[in-house]
Amino acid sequence: MEETTNQRVLVLADLEALENEHDKTNAFLVEHSSAILDVANFEIGQVTENDKVLLYLCDSNIKTILPKLAKLGCAIGFLPHPEATQARSGYKVPKDTKEAFEELLNSEREVETGILTCNEEIVLNYVVIGEMVTFLTKKSSRKNIYYRMLRFFKYLKRLVNIRALPFTVQVEDKTPIETAATDILIVQYAHNSIVSRIFVSKELSSERLFHTFIFTPRSVLQLTRSYIVKLLLGAGQKNKAFKFLSRLKTEDLTISSVQEFKCNIDGKYTNVKELKFVFESSFNQIPSDSIQYEVESKDNSSSKTFQVKNLPKGEARKEMVRKRLPFITHASADEYKELFTQLRENARPSQNYVILMILSVILATLGVFANSSPVIIGAMILAPLMSPIISFSMGVLRQDRELMKNSFITILVGVGVGYLFAILFTLITPINQINAEITSRIEPNIIDLGIAVVSGAAGAYAFSKEEIAKTLAGVAIAVALVPPLAVSGIGLAWLNFDIFFGAFLLLITNLTGMVLAAAFTFLMTGYSPFKLAKKGLLISLAVVLSISIPLGYGFFKVVEENKIIRSLNGTEINNNILENVILESRKPFVISLDVLAKSMPDDAEIDNIKREIEQIVGEDVTLKAAIRLKR
């Protein structure tokens, strides 16, 4: 082998383990190294500061030998000993011994890096407090997403017993932080953990700094969501799913607690009350080719990180420590207070509420008569019914009688005013013809209930999140309430009770669906414990299920009507083609359509077309036919 005059390549090895390597690998090491030293008989005098020393040792031997070699100042590289699991992961050692040896042999790079210790024990890979972080960051040998999901659901049983512990975090000379956490992860290098790769570069740092990640999830659901995101997006995704993580990048750290806690140092568990992290010394590492170092300035202060604003403190800390991690995220005291102040205010009818209700119903009524969707949309935007419905939902969820009463009265005031003005404007309007905007709202079905549920969920979520309230809260409920209210009022004014009851059923469907969905959304965002919310949710669900019976019947009617339309559209009768089929009414059965003909058909041909249609649908039909001649 070729080597410089002053530098030797020495392999310090566990000879017994090295004998199990492939013969070609052993021969290659013998040929290209100056000497292979037996760790069992090793003396520090066998090495000089100018040597390259490549370690083929188990983790425990590395922890013993590394500080001695570091003091000597020689260059140090790592080979993949079968029992060097932590060193291989921590220093990113290639799996193949021959490949790793060649990389280190040919490398011209040397980087000064620190030896991190925890309670005076060298850390080769990681230190973990808690169990969830180990699971979330553990690499699986099987990459099948279904297997990994199954593995996660098996682990869910442990989630219900997770409890945060009180910790005091002392970072260098800063004021100690009294906080609580479920898990804490400490790694020296960014590539060591999936969690660290989410937030920092995969490059190793030549600084004497290490990373600390403090887990403070507010619910099991939040942890579950972060795991799903990790499955779908993988590492390296800086996403909001992990916002419960706080991050430190420092040169020393002390973590203590008033009670004993379990920690995992490089795979070995121990129970302690305090962990103290410092750098014992530095050594010159020869990195493998797969590692890219980012060379930092010697002034570490510019690269230090203290992202701790999300750490629970004060009452939030006490709340986390007091009980096990809840299934859903509970709203904080500030969020709870702010939302309830707003909801109680919205539950009372005001002058602005009544005026906006009058204007929106008048606009919706005129839009229905004009058969104009844009006008009706304008009425939806104006309608103020969102506020009392959301307040009523919260009252139902938390069994707050006063909130329910006030918001229900406000809803009744809005609906009553709406009916009054819808009837008045219908009576003074000379139009009395049923159009598409009316017919589309007098036969509600399950699909309409689905729309109501989504609208209610969107409205409640918008109210619970201040940053999106202004963009969603004005429309989500109004879309489903004002038009049927106006149509129902038109039906009353005309004394057409089919229109009235059909539109009224849609109105009640939307109202009850929204209340149930909004209450459930508030439950999922943590504004009520399930024990308190159970009664209100069950009553709301029972009401919605009872309304679903006629809606289900309406849905089957829609399906049947679509079948009739599909069976007629494109049908050819005596060289005449039926197009643009519309089923206007079932009782009586009225169908409008276009007849595409080569020449103008006479009355006999029209009667024949009508008879053919009646045979297809199986009922007597009133036919409205428009004749179009083929060119």
Name the strand (E) or helix (H) holding 225: helix 220-233
C-alpha to C-alpha distances, 533 to 153, 338, 346, 520, nearest whole angstrom: 26, 20, 21, 9
Sorted by sequence, the CB contacts under 8 Å of residue 360 that are 6+ apart come out as: 379, 380, 382, 383, 384, 418, 478, 482
Q: What is the DSSP string of 125-166?
A: SEEEESSHHHHHHPPPS---HHHHHHHHHHHHHHHTT-B-EE
Q: Which of 231, 254, 251, 227 is nearest to 241 (CA)?
A: 227
Give the tens place of pLDDT for each residue, 1-52.
Answer: 444 456 799 999 999 999 998 889 999 999 999 999 999 999 999 999 999 9
Q: How far is CA 126 from the centre of its chain?
A: 28
- Angle 160-165-167 (CA atoms, 0-180°, nearest 5)? 155
220-259 pLDDT per residue, tens: 777 777 766 655 555 444 455 567 888 888 889 999 999 9
Question: Residue 247: what residue type?
Answer: R
The mean per-residue pLDDT over the stretch 412-440 comes to 89
Please determine, for residue 288, whether its predicted confidence score (pLDDT) is greater than 80: no
Span 277-286, average pLDDT: 90
Task: Please determine, for residue 330, whether its predicted confidence score (pLDDT) is greater than 50.
Answer: yes
Nearest to 432 by CA among 484, 375, 490: 490
Question: What amino acid occupies position 10?
Answer: L
List, for residues 565-610, the tens digit of each pLDDT value: 888 888 888 888 888 888 777 777 888 888 888 888 888 888 888 8
pLDDT at 446 > cutoff 80 = yes
pLDDT of 139 > 60? The answer is: no
Residue 295 clears pLDDT 50, i.e. is over it: no
Give the other-Cβ count within 10 Å of 153's Cβ: 9
- How many whole angstroms separate alpha carbon 483 and alpha carbon 477? 11
Separation of alpha carbons 515 and 521, rounded Å: 10
Task: Determine which helix (DSSP H) or strand (DSSP E) holds 241, and give its type and residue range.
Answer: none
- What is the DSSP pairing of strand 111-118 with strand 268-285? antiparallel
How many whole angstroms separate alpha carbon 52 and alpha carbon 12? 10
Between 12 and 431, whose confidence is greater?
Answer: 12
- Of 61-65, 87-91, 552-556, which range is least confident? 552-556
User: Which of 628, 581, 578, 579 has the alpha carbon at shortest distance from 601?
Assistant: 628
The Cα 248–Cα 170 span in angstroms is 11
Q: What is the pLDDT of residue 467?
A: 57
For 438-465, what is the mean pLDDT? 80
State percent of the chain over pLDDT 90: 29
Percent of the residues in the chain that have a pLDDT greater than 70, as a whole number: 82
d(CA 517, CA 512): 9
pLDDT digits (tens, 9 = 90+) for 164-221: 899 999 998 889 999 999 889 898 876 655 555 555 554 455 567 888 989 888 777 7
Using alpha carbons only, what angle is made at residue 480 by residues 479 and 484, rounded to the nearest 5 degrees? 115
pLDDT of residue 4: 47
**Residue 182: alpha-carbon gap to chain centroid:** 20
Q: CA end-to-end span of the chain, whole Å?
A: 91
Quickly count helices (H) and strands (E) in the chain. 22, 21
CA 555 to chain centre: 33
pTM exceeds 0.85 for this model: no
Residue 144 clears pLDDT 80, i.e. is over it? no
